[in-house]
């Protein structure tokens, strides 16, 4: 969950927002570890069930729903996606990048946030250019924007806070004549569910339970973590209402392991010839021959050979043929049998099934039975994964569903557009935007609370926490936890949590105060701050009430102090938590509240 001030973080004042706007352009961005996609729609598009997906990219001649999430810096120029030369060593959000990241950051004078911002800046320029070509520059310039960016459900708050900073740095939220640009974050599995279940022909019924398997693709040496979330349909009438049935899970499986297994197979077959390959040669094999060739079309029922062309540089003066063992090499091409390719998928698919089993078991423990499994992401379109899951779960009457339209690969960016309209396009949650589907509640993946001091009680509190409060002249217990949210609880935007606090002051403190927000991943969070409780962020705020107007507080010694009484309100909202500060029942302005991650 990401923490934000209560107001739209990119608005300089509430007066900037014109709630009378009758049309908004919603742009959904799926910023992926390996590939990124974008979809968009106006109110009229959405009402006509027409969500536009960008399929044309600089440097690529074919239609494709996503572009590589890669950057390359050369002579002061930034190249991205398909523009990057095949012999270049691009920056990517992968395990390889993490290993050489410090050196690259030092050489380019960049931070990790700068890199993401650079990519988003290039992506955003292409997005605007594409939409203006489709609708006309004057039309687009007249529309306010609502940008929805999807993030992994397992991301911690600091990661999403970094993404928010990158978005601001990229220029996506720059001022426009049409008004401020609203920004929303959405969990990737939620976006996938929104788009897939809203497709024409889908007829979810009340009580149906769907496991969303976000099986991302992954290119060479990319570490991806799979997200799974289970939703139950509360109402099948439009808008379709659903809630997260059990806590989502994730695991390290999928694209990286399949790709690595295939690369190891090629290395093993070529031997020392592999070492002769340049970076461009390896990229040719892994991207052209594998990523867009054998991998997406493979299924064991095909008995044909899968032929992988090896660049001539690998053979040198050696012959281009080697039929001494399987798989044979003929004319510089490895002829893989179906059984060879199947080995690359074996372990990752086994891990995916375990994750799905866990979600199904959790749902069953709460009295729900899975109705369907929805596959999205790069691997979500794999015919082999479909066959594997159908063979395992079909016998139990569980349907295996894949997104139609542009396919599972673009389901998340299309779902981001649904999220924008579901929330009320432009950030106006009370607007009359068309709503086809809505998530009513989610399940918390951690506990969130504030460390407080409370009156010491013998037998309840530890002596180690006992401390004298000279302001109130009483013994207090330090390090006590006041939990807003407990892991596993269902949380809804309809149910904000408000808690009251106070502080005593002997002199003017300038109106500035702060609280430290804590998090705990344990199923049963402790009542006091222990090693399992970690600092997440601080909520810094400034009150409008002058010091001299604060109420007096007289302690038992007769000393007169000032007392600040305030409330902190937490509102869960999809991928975010919104916090508001209220003093004397009055909500403080967004400019007075800041959330700072540790």
Q: What is the CATH number of the domain that holds 564?
A: 2.60.34
Q: Where are the beta strands (DSSP E) in 42-187?
A: 52-53, 67-68, 70-74, 77-80, 91-92, 145-151, 182-187
Same domain as 481, residue 354: no
Same domain as 461, residue 592: yes
Question: Of 327, 344, 361, which marks where a domain is finished?
Answer: 344
Assess if residue 218 is contained within a domain: no
Assess contact for 405 and 381: CB atoms under 8 A: no
Q: Cα–Cα distance between 40 and 409 in angstroms, integer?
A: 16
Count of structural domains within the chain: 4
Same domain as 159, residue 71: yes
Assess if residue 216 is contained within a domain: no
pLDDT tens series, the chain, 598 aa? 333 332 223 333 333 334 444 589 999 999 987 889 999 999 999 888 889 999 999 999 888 889 988 888 888 889 999 999 888 878 776 544 444 555 666 666 777 788 889 999 999 999 999 999 999 999 899 999 999 998 876 566 666 778 888 999 999 999 999 999 999 888 887 888 888 887 777 788 888 888 888 776 532 222 233 457 788 888 877 777 888 887 776 665 667 788 889 999 999 999 999 999 998 899 899 888 888 888 888 988 888 889 999 999 999 888 899 999 999 999 999 999 999 999 999 888 888 888 888 888 888 888 888 888 888 777 777 889 889 999 999 988 999 887 765 667 888 899 999 889 877 654 444 444 445 667 777 788 788 899 999 999 999 999 999 999 999 999 999 999 999 888 888 777 667 788 889 999 999 998 888 888 898 989 899 999 999 999 888 888 888 888 999 999 999 999 999 999 888 888 766 556 677 888 877 888 777 888 777 6
Q: In which domain, by residue range, is 309 found?
A: 256-344
Same domain as 412, residue 396: no
| Ramachandran angles phi, psi of 509, nearest 5° | -105, 10
Which residue is it, tokens 């940008």?
A: 147
pLDDT of residue 355: 85
Name, in order, each residue with C-beta under 8 angstroms of 576's C-beta and a sequence gap of 6 or more: 1, 2, 3, 4, 160, 184, 185
Same domain as 465, residue 380: no
Same domain as 180, residue 54: yes
Assess if residue 217 is contained within a domain: no
Assess if residue 155 is contained within a domain: yes
Same domain as 361, residue 431: no
Q: Which two tokens stand for residue 151?
A: 């993030």
Question: Of 295, 324, 344, which marks where a domain is finished?
Answer: 344
Same domain as 8, residue 152: yes
Assess if residue 185 is contained within a domain: yes
DSSP string, 266-302: HHHHHGGGGGG--HHHHHIIIIIIIIIIIHHH--TT-
Helices H, strands E: what count in the chain? 12, 31
Assess if residue 180 is contained within a domain: yes
Assess if residue 219 is contained within a domain: no
CB atoms closer than 10 angstroms to residue 11:
19
Give 587-590's long-range contacts (Cβ < 8 A, gap of 24+): 587/6, 588/541, 588/542, 588/543, 588/544, 589/7, 589/14, 589/544, 590/5, 590/6, 590/7, 590/8, 590/9, 590/11, 590/14
Same domain as 338, residue 276: yes
Question: Of 344, 365, 391, which marks where a domain is finished?
Answer: 344
Same domain as 373, residue 265: no
pLDDT of residue 253: 60
Same domain as 453, residue 385: no
Same domain as 363, residue 269: no
pLDDT of residue 14: 35
Q: pTM score, two decimals?
A: 0.77
Assess if residue 414 is contained within a domain: yes
């Amino acid at each position: 969950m990401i923490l934000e001030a209560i107001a739209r973080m990119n608005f300089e004042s509430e007066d900037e927002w014109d709630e009378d706007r009758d049309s908004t352009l919603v742009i959904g961005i799926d910023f992926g570890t390996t590939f990124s996609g974008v979809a968009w729609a106006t109110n009229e598009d959405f009402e006509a069930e027409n969500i536009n997906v960008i399929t044309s990219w600089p440097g690529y001649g074919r239609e494709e729903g996503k572009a590589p999430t890669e950057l390359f810096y050369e002579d002061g120029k930034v190249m991205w996606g398909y523009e990057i030369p095949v012999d270049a060593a691009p920056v990517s959000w992968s395990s390889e990048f993490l290993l050489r990241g410090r050196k690259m950051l030092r050489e380019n004078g960049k931070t990790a946030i700068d890199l993401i911002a650079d990519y988003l800046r290039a992506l955003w320029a292409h997005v605007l250019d594409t939409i203006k070509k489709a609708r006309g520059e004057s039309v687009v310039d007249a529309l306010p924007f609502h940008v929805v960016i999807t993030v992994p459900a397992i991301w911690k708050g600091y990661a999403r806070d970094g993404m928010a900073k990158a978005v601001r740095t990229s220029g996506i939220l720059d001022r426009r004549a049409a008004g401020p640009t609203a920004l929303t974050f959405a969990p990737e599995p939620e976006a996938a569910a929104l788009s897939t279940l809203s497709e024409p022909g889908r007829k979810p019924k009340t009580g149906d339970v769907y496991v969303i398997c976000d099986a991302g693709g992954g290119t060479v040496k990319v570490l991806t973590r799979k997200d799974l979330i289970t939703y139950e349909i509360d109402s099948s009438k439009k808008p379709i209402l659903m809630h997260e049935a059990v806590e989502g899970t994730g695991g390290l499986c999928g694209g990286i392991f399949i790709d690595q297994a295939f690369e190891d197979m090629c290395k093993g077959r070529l031997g020392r010839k592999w070492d002769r390959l340049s970076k461009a040669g390896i990229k040719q094999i892994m991207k052209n021959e594998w990523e867009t060739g054998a991998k997406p079309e493979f299924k064991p029922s095909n008995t044909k050979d899968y032929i992988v062309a090896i660049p001539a540089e690998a053979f040198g003066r050696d012959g281009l043929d080697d039929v001494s063992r399987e798989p044979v090499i003929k004319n510089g091409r490895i002829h893989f049998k179906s059984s060879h390719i199947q080995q690359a998928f074996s372990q990752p698919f086994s891990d995916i099934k375990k994750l799905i089993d866990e979600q199904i078991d959790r749902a069953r423990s709460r009295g729900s039975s899975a109705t369907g499994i929805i596959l999205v992401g790069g691997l979500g379109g794999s015919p082999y994964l479909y066959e594997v899951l159908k063979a395992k779960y079909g016998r139990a009457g569980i349907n295996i569903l894949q997104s139609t339209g542009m396919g599972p690969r673009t389901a998340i960016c299309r779902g981001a557009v649904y999220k924008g309209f579901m929330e009320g396009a432009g950030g106006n949650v009370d607007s009359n935007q068309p709503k086809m589907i809505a998530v009513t509640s989610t399940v918390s993946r951690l506990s969130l609370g504030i460390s407080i001091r409370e009156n010491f009680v013998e037998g309840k509190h530890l002596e180690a926490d006992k401390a004298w409060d000279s302001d109130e002249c009483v013994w207090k217990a330090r390090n006590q936890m006041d939990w807003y949210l407990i892991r596993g609880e269902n949380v809804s935007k309809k149910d904000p949590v408000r808690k009251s606090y106070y502080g005593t002051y002997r002199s003017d403190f300038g109106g500035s105060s702060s609280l430290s927000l804590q998090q705990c991943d344990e199923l049963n969070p402790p009542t006091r701050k222990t090693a399992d409780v970690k600092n997440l962020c601080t909520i810094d705020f400034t009150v409008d009430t002058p010091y001299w107007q604060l109420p007096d507080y007289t302690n038992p010694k007769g000393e007169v102090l000032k007392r600040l009484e305030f409330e902190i309100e937490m509102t869960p909202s999809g991928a975010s938590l919104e916090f508001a500060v209220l003093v004397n029942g009055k909500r403080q302005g967004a400019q007075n509240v800041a959330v700072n991650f540790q």
